[in-house]
Amino acid sequence: MLGAAAAVLLGKARDRGHVLVGLATAVANIDEVIHIIRSSADPGEARDRLMAKDWPAGDMIARAAHFRLNLIVRSSTECC
């Protein structure tokens, strides 16, 4: 029982780590991220373009920060 609980906690910790790496990658490349978001017609296009980009952290954004990316893209493309 303890082993299963530890495995769940470890999985959650890894997920949080991937989210942090994804966010750090976005911050390190903030100018490019903003350009992609603002030049996209809608949140779906912005998300697709950001996901297609070959970022230095590999696929961390795609795997773990997908929901956060959706929030960022949606809020950034809805204004104006």
Instruction: Indicate the pLDDT class of residue 78, thresholds 50, 70 and 90.
Output: low
Q: 0.85 exceeded by the pTM?
A: no
Cα Rg of the chain, angstroms: 15
Residue 74 CB coordination number (10 Å): 15
Q: What is the pLDDT of residues 22-39, one digit of tens each?
A: 778 878 888 988 898 889
Burial class (CB in 10 A: 0-12, 13-18, 19+), 9: exposed
Q: What is the pLDDT of residues 38-71, one digit of tens each?
A: 899 988 888 888 888 887 766 655 554 566 666 6
Sign of CA dihedral 57, 59, 62, 65: negative
